[in-house]
Amino acid sequence: MSAPNPVEKDYYFPIICTIKGFGGSAYLDEIRKSVRLFLRANNQYLEESAGPKTQESRFEKDLNWAGKRLADAGLIRKARTHWELTEEGRLNFFSEKTLISFTELSGKKTKGKNS
């Protein structure tokens, strides 16, 4: 039995853990590699096109949207190729506040079959 295909909300924790693991900041290529391994998803599914009008893969699209939501929540600062934990993200990595943020983010309408 295979695991369900990941959706955007499945990316939040791996992104934060990856950035934390790289000392609080990481390049997008490092984040992509680490999160992909963490998800343990079917590569064929992840590489499918995100839509007919984009060159982006499903994985890239979900990763970017998850990063945007984490940035909007004040947990990371996201530049085009470099992401880092904010002071809030560093100080409250596993605090009740961050876990509440994950829960709230996960409750938002995200695209995918499991949402």
pLDDT (tens digit per residue) in 36-91 = 888 887 777 778 877 788 788 889 999 999 999 999 989 999 998 999 999 988 87
List, in order, residues 6 or more apart from 103 with CB less than 8 Å away: none
For residue 93, what pLDDT is reported? 65
Q: Is the pTM of this model over 0.85?
A: no
List, in order of start, the domains of the chain with CATH numbers.
Answer: 8-102 (1.10.10.10)
pLDDT (tens digit per residue) in 80-113 = 899 999 998 887 766 666 666 666 766 655 444 4
Contact 24, 84 (CB under 8 A): yes
Closest by alpha carbon to 93, among 11, 22, 12, 20? 20
Mean of the pLDDT values across residues 10-24? 92
